[in-house]
Amino acid sequence: MMEPNSPAEELPTLYRAILDRVAELESAGERAEATRVRYQATTAYSRAWDDRARRELEALLRRAERPTNAERLLGRRGGADVDRPTAPAQHRAAIAQDG
């Protein structure tokens, strides 16, 4: 059985995925939401790199991936259209493949 990855291995990838979503939100004109997500991600990422921070970033990524009203009107699925892990289990699987 594989050992789970440590937060130090997963947090940078989670943070990058969140920042990618922030860029999508900004380009869609959702600047207030992008600012809120970036602030929350930076706050979690700046603290201790532990399981709590990992859970916070995973939850934030799930929330940020939900389509905005504008994306719904355009028929988009939010950040899920992008080729990156969207759920914590998929995220961990992607890291396991890289490591």
Q: Closest Cα partner for 20 from 81, 92, 88, 89?
A: 81
Q: Where are the domains of the chain?
A: 7-98
If you search the block for the tokens 């905005």, which residue do you land on?
68
Along the 99 residues of the chain, how does pLDDT read in single tens digits?
556 788 888 999 999 999 999 999 999 899 999 999 999 999 999 999 999 999 999 999 999 999 888 888 887 666 544 444 444 545 545 544 544
The pLDDT of residue 33 is: 94
pLDDT of residue 2: 56
In the chain, helix, strand, coil percent, each to 5? 75, 0, 25
**How far apart are alpha carbons 15 and 66 in whole angstroms?**
17
pTM of this prediction?
A: 0.71
